[in-house]
């Protein structure tokens, strides 16, 4: 983790991580759209395919009937909430986690505004069981949420004494 002397402020960290997630998401989706036909499946590893699917719903395609405007509205509210929380969050794991979540939310938001749906392309499977296809933005969202939960539990266990020295409780 960068220290306070590194010049990386919480704002800079947030912008860098968020921008990297958005760029990786846009670039990978453009590669898929331009080189993989819709519903085409390319075997990569015994447990991984590259596919090209369009998702009009939320995670895993659920609630597709609610329409794109609904998901755009939810995304805008989530992005605003994350930014407000980031301003108040301490520098550290929470900043990294929320920056990943923000980048993922913006990445999928861009798809919804541009094409009215989200491009998914990563297909992980075991035998005939396939996890629903996902993308870089979804991955960043998931990793960010897991890190945020870890940071929250770690913060709950951290106690400062009267001297300002901290320690973790059991």
Q: Which residues are catalytic?
A: 120, 138
CA 96 vs. chain centroid, Å, equals 11
Helix H or strand E encompassing 55: strand 48-55
Q: Tell me if 152 sits within 8 A of 139, measured CB to CB.
A: no
Helix H or strand E encompassing 160: strand 158-160
How many Cβ atoms are within 10 Å of 122's Cβ, its own excluded? 19
DSSP structure string for 57-115: SSGGGTTGGG-HHHHHHHHHHHHHHHHHHHHHSPTTHHHHHHHHHHHHHHHHHHHHHHH
Helix H or strand E encompassing 125: strand 118-126
C-alpha–C-alpha distance, residues 116 and 110, integer Å: 9
């Amino acid at each position: 983790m960068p220290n306070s002397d590194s010049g990386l402020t919480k704002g800079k960290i947030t912008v860098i991580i968020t921008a990297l997630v958005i760029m990786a998401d846009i670039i990978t989706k453009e590669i898929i759209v331009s080189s993989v036909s819709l519903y085409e499946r390319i075997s990569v590893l015994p447990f991984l395919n590259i596919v090209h699917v369009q998702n009009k719903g939320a995670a895993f395609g659920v609630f597709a009937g609610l329409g794109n405007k609904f998901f755009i509205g939810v995304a805008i509210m989530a992005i605003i909430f994350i930014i407000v929380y980031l301003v108040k969050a301490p520098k550290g794991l929470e900043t990294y986690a929320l920056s990943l979540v923000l980048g993922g939310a913006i990445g999928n938001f861009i798809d919804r505004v541009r094409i009215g749906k989200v491009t998914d392309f990563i297909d992980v499977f075991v035998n005939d069981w396939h996890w629903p296809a996902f993308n870089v933005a979804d991955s960043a969202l998931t990793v960010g949420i897991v890190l945020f939960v870890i940071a929250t539990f770690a913060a709950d266990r951290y106690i400062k004494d009267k001297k300002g020295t901290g320690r973790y409780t059991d």
